[in-house]
C-alpha cells in the first residue's frame, strides 16, 4: 500500500487558489508607445485575433498539475511492503545429531510405522526447529568425527532442510560424543552474549574422537553452556534369524550413565526416547524448559516513491515553459 510520511503537506494544495482570491492582481505591464500621424506605412493584420484569456486558461492546466505533483512529492509517498518478522533476541541453540551406523536401526514407531532412529528424529526435530522463533539455531552432525552442518542462524528453513539431507555414515560409523560437545562449545563461544543451549541426541556410547565426553562437559559448564542429552532407541525388538524370531535389546550399547552425567554437569537434563511419541514429548518438554521469546517484532519494508511525482512536476514545468515561449518564437 502507499503511505505518505508527511500527509499534512496536502493542506498546501489550495494555496495558489487562496493567493488568487485574496491578493490584489498584478498591474498590467504597459508597453512603450510610438505616436505616428498615419498607419498607412504599417502593415496591419486584419485577421481574427486569438482569445488571450482562453490561452491563459489552457496554460493553467499544466501549472496546476505541476503544483499538485510537487505537493505530492513533498508529502514523501512510500510504498509499504508486507510485514516481515524480525528475529528477536532469543538464545543460541545447537542441535548435535548422531548419524553413526546404528542410527539406521528401525526400532522407532512413528504414526504406526516402524522407522529408523534417524528418520524419527528428522521429523520430530524438524518440528522443534520450526517452533524456535527468535533463536539462532545451528546443526552439528557426528559419527566418528563431528562437523558443523549449519552455523548459528535465524534461518530455520535452511537448518530443517540440511537436517533432512543428513545421511547415515557421512561422518563415519562410530560415535564421537566428546568431539561433538567440544565443537558446539567452540561455535557457541563465538557469540559471548546470550543464553547457550546444546541438544545432543545419540543412540550409543562414545567410542571415537579425541575428547572424552565428561571432559568436554566440564568445559561446557565453565563456559555457561547448558546441555540436554537424549538417548534414542527401543528397549526391545523382534529380529528374524536362522534360529527363528528372537527378542533383543537394540539399545544395549546406549551409555545412559554418561549422558546423564553430561547433562547434570551443565545444568541440563537427560531424556530417554524409546519411540516416536516419547521423542515428540521430549522436544515439547525442551520447549517448556527453554521457552521461546514471546515479544515478536515486525517491520514493513519501505520504498521511496517521491521521484515519480517530482519527475512529473518537472515534466509539466517544462511543458509550461515551452508553451510560454511559443508566441515569442513565432514573432521572431
pLDDT tens-place string over residues 161-208: 999 999 998 888 899 999 999 999 998 887 766 688 999 999 888 888
Within this chain, do residues 183 and 233 fall inside the same structural domain, yes or no?
A: yes
Within this chain, do residues 149 and 3 fall inside the same structural domain, yes or no?
A: no
Tell me the three cell numbers of residue 291.
521457552
Least confident piece of the model among 31-40, 89-98, 136-145:
31-40
Domain harbouring 264, CATH code: 3.40.50.410
User: What is residue 231's predicted lDDT score, i.e. its pLDDT?
Assistant: 92
Degrees, nearest 5: CA angle 101-105-109: 145
Within this chain, do residues 148 and 74 fall inside the same structural domain, yes or no?
A: no
**What gap in Å lies between CA 28 and CA 41, rounded to an integer?**
29
Within this chain, do residues 96 and 169 fall inside the same structural domain, yes or no?
A: yes
Q: Is residue 93 part of a domain?
A: yes
pLDDT tens-place string over residues 257-292: 999 999 999 999 999 998 889 999 999 999 888 876
Tell me the three cell numbers of residue 67.
503544483
Place 42 in a pLDDT band, splitting at 50, 70 and 90: low
User: What is residue 244's predicted lDDT score, i.e. its pLDDT?
Assistant: 62
Q: Is residue 53 part of a domain?
A: no
Residues 6 or more apart whose Cβ sits within 8 Å of residue 204:
98, 100, 102, 175, 253, 254, 255
Higher-pLDDT residue of 159, 332: 159
pLDDT tens-place string over residues 97-117: 999 988 998 888 888 888 999
Q: In Å, how far are 118, 122, 132, 245 from 127, measured between CA atoms? A: 14, 9, 9, 36
Q: Is residue 284 part of a domain?
A: yes
Within this chain, do residues 78 and 104 fall inside the same structural domain, yes or no?
A: no
Q: Is residue 282 part of a domain?
A: yes
Higher-pLDDT residue of 91, 140: 140
User: What is residue 41's predicted lDDT score, i.e. its pLDDT?
Assistant: 59
How many structural domains are present in the chain? 2
Within this chain, do residues 303 and 234 fall inside the same structural domain, yes or no?
A: no
Show the domain range for 200. Answer: 89-289
User: What is residue 45's predicted lDDT score, i.e. its pLDDT?
Assistant: 53
User: What is residue 249's predicted lDDT score, i.e. its pLDDT?
Assistant: 78
Q: In Å, how far are 1, 45, 62, 95, 272 from 148, measured between CA atoms? A: 42, 93, 65, 10, 25
Amino acid at each position: 500500500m502507499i503511505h505518505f510520511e508527511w500527509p499534512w503537506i496536502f493542506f498546501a494544495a489550495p494555496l495558489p487558489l487562496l493567493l488568487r482570491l485574496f491578493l490584489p492582481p498584478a498591474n498590467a505591464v504597459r508597453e512603450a508607445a510610438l505616436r505616428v500621424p498615419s498607419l498607412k506605412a504599417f502593415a496591419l493584420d486584419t485577421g481574427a485575433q486569438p482569445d488571450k484569456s482562453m490561452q491563459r486558461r489552457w496554460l493553467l492546466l499544466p501549472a496546476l498539475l505541476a503544483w499538485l505533483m510537487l505537493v505530492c512529492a513533498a508529502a514523501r509517498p512510500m510504498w509499504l511492503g508486507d510485514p516481515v518478522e524480525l528475529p528477536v533476541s532469543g538464545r543460541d541453540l545447537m542441535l548435535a545429531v548422531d548419524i553413526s551406523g546404528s542410527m539406521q536401526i528401525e526400532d522407532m514407531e512413528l504414526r504406526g510405522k516402524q522407522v529408523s532412529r534417524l528418520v524419527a528424529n528428522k521429523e520430530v526435530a524438524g518440528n522443534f526447529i520450526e517452533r524456535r522463533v527468535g533463536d539462532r539455531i545451528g546443526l552439528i552432525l557426528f559419527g566418528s568425527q563431528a562437523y558443523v552442518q549449519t552455523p548459528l542462524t535465524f534461518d530455520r528453513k535452511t537448518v530443517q532442510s540440511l537436517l533432512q539431507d543428513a545421511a547415515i555414515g557421512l561422518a563415519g560409523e562410530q560415535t564421537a560424543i566428546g568431539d561433538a560437545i567440544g565443537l558446539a562449545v567452540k561455535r557457541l563461544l563465538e557469540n559471548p552474549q546470550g543464553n547457550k543451549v546444546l541438544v545432543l541426541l545419540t543412540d550409543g556410547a562414545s567410542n571415537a574422537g579425541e575428547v572424552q565426553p565428561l571432559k568436554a562437559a566440564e568445559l561446557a559448564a565453565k563456559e555457561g553452556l547448558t546441555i540436554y542429552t537424549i538417548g534414542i532407541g527401543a528397549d526391545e525388538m523382534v529380529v528374524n534369524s536362522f534360529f527363528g524370531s528372537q527378542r533383543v535389546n537394540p539399545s544395549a550399547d546406549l551409555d545412559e550413565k554418561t549422558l546423564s552425567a553430561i547433562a547434570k554437569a551443565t545444568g541440563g537434563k537427560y531424556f530417554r526416547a524409546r519411540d516416536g511419541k516419547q521423542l515428540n514429548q521430549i522436544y515439547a518438554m525442551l520447549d517448556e524448559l527453554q521457552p521461546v521469546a514471546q515479544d515478536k517484532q515486525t517491520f514493513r519494508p519501505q520504498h521511496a516513491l517521491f521521484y515519480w511525482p517530482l519527475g512529473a512536476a518537472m515534466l509539466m514545468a517544462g511543458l509550461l515553459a515551452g508553451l510560454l515561449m511559443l508566441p515569442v518564437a513565432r514573432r521572431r
